[in-house]
Amino acid sequence: MDPYVVITCRTQEKKSSIASGKGTSPEWNETFLFNITDGTSKLHMKIFDSDKVSADDFVGEATIPLDPVFDSGSIEATSYNVVKEGEYYGEIKVGLLFTPESSRGSDGSDENFGGWRQSSRD
């Protein structure tokens, strides 16, 4: 399996790198930055298996509630269920960091803030 993840937060979408040859236990350790506005309550993650010859295969999806990270400012890597058609297919581990805009750099573009910190699929 050569998995990758598409992360959606409202209308913003980011794609991880492809974990080539990593099978069912990939580690990406990538950081993604999302701009969060009022009313944003979750991240949605879709996991795919990259195929060179045919269309990529949908592996499963996970939804991550954001209220806990807003309350505490960060969440250590935590496992979330991956489901497909209502059935459990495994877990994805994700750590999150939330930094209010008033705490960011003067231009608001500091990529060290926010985003997806670490993940793996067990």
| pLDDT grade for 96, boundaries at 50, 70 and 90 | very high
pLDDT in the model for residue 101? 76
pLDDT for res 20: 84
CA distance linking residue 96 with residue 58, whole number of Å: 24
- In contact, 47 and 92? CB cutoff 8 Å: yes
DSSP at 27: B
Q: What homologous superfamily is domain 3-121 in, according to CATH?
A: C2 domain (2.60.40.150)
Structural domain boundaries in the chain: 3-121
With a threshold of 0.85, does the pTM exceed it? no
* pLDDT tens digits, 18-65: 998 887 789 898 999 999 888 899 999 999 999 989 999 999 999 999
